[in-house]
């Protein structure tokens, strides 16, 4: 049966596959609880609930007997499908939303093999996907907390099929970590989010662009150059085999986002991109910061319009910060006009700080 699973996985476009017979994840549970106790989960309170329920797949699927873990590289998945947002996001978000793409591939495997019970999963439930991939012998967990496959690297989409068939009795031999004393990923993180205990989400740019829907901490903004996600620690890894970064050109996508005042405007611009996951306010907030850190002086006008006219204080405040960062007479004129009319105290404080920059 395991050979049939592998053949079906490869036919449906996956590049590596293995099986983990469902068992205990007590060690991983201990590590997760230690990470939570350090406060590293930031605003991801749902992880506390996951920890309380336990990481065992049977907590979600009582009938589970095995987990088929499958890998495919992001650059293979998005080949020839990169959108106009590709230079503004991490590699996993360069193409259309990957969730339906992966679910179709998993559905193909289920139809071929006709399991009595099977649940297809990709990045959407409490399953600890990297831990499962490690237990299935598909790689090791690097200091950047990516799963690193010895041949495919770390720029990977991980998917699972939870099935009610045993498939194989023996647990695969886990991959020995090859990090050694290397700290390249830790050294590459511009905000110090990577520690030997794990990723401190409070300082992680990926967290702030995808999970944090509020104010981006002031001391992190200068390091933020992407709308969604961050690949710097993966690019620094000698085993990561990261996708080649897309050249940061003068993408019109950033300006379109900054001009989106309504949900409909936003969806017209970003509706077929993973950026839509972030929702309008958070995406436009991040766009304002990125416009400044990428020195997009051509966007001063649209930033000024956002500072004065966006319905969200979150957007107005970050747009004001961006104008202060870019500087120039046009930016200062907008800020000076808005300072006396802005009703929100936090936004006024951002405008005042920008005028002093």
Q: Is 123 a catalytic residue?
A: yes
Report the interhelical angle of 313-326 vs 329-339 (nearest 10°): 140
What is the DSSP secondary-structure string of 215-261?
PPPHHHHTT---SB---HHHHH-TTT-PPPPPP----HHHHHHHT--
Here the tokens at position 108 are 């193909």
Q: How far apart are the first and last CA of the chain?
A: 65
With CA atoms as reference, report the closest residue to 110 among 100, 101, 122, 118. Answer: 118
Longest distance between any two alpha carbons in the chain, whole Å: 71
What span, in angstroms and rounded, lies between the C-alpha atoms of 207 and 227?
11
Q: What angle do CA 210, 162, 55 make, to 5 degrees?
A: 60
CA distances from 64 to 53, 105, 112, 170, 176 (A): 16, 20, 19, 16, 27
* Relative orientation angle of helices 26-37 and 46-53, to the nearest 10 degrees: 150
| Given the residues 37, 75, 87, 123, the one annotated as active site | 123
Just list the catalytic residues: 123
């Amino acid at each position: 049966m395991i050979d049939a699973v592998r053949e079906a996985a490869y036919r449906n476009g996956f590049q590596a596959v293995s099986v983990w017979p469902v068992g205990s994840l007590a060690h991983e549970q201990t590590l997760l609880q230690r990470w939570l106790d350090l406060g590293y989960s930031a605003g991801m309170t749902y992880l506390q609930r996951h920890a309380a329920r336990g990481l065992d797949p049977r907590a979600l699927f009582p009938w589970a007997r095995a987990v088929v873990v499958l890998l495919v590289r992001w650059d293979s998945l998005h080949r020839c499908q990169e959108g106009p947002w590709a230079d503004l996001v991490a590699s996993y978000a360069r193409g259309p939303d990957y969730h339906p793409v992966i679910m179709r591939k998993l559905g193909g495997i289920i139809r071929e093999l006709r399991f009595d019970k099977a649940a297809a999963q990709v990045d959407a439930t409490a399953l600890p996907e990297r831990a499962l991939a490690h237990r299935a012998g598909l790689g090791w967990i690097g200091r950047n907390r990516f799963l690193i496959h010895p041949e495919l690297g770390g720029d990977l989409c991980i998917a699972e099929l939870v099935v009610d068939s045993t498939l194989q009795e023996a647990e695969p031999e886990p991959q020995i970590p090859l990090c050694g004393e290397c700290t390249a990923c830790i050294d590459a993180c511009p905000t110090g989010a990577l520690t030997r205990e794990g990723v401190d989400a409070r300082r992680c740019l990926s967290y702030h662009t995808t999970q944090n829907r509020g104010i981006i901490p002031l001391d992190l903004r200068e390091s933020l150059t992407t709308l969604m996600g961050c690949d710097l620690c993966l690019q620094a890894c000698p085993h990561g085999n990261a996708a080649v970064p897309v050249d940061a050109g003068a993408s019109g996508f950033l300006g379109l986002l900054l001009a989106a005042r309504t949900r409909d405007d936003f969806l017209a611009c970003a509706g077929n991109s993973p950026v839509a996951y972030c929702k309008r306010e958070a995406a436009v907030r991040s766009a304002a910061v990125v416009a400044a850190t990428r020195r997009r002086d051509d966007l001063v006008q649209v930033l000024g319009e956002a500072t004065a006219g966006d319905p969200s204080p979150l957007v107005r405040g970050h747009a004001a910060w961006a104008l202060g960062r870019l500087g120039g007479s046009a930016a200062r004129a907008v800020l000076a006009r808005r300072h006396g009319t802005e009703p929100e105290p936090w936004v006024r404080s951002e405008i005042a700080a920008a005028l002093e920059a």
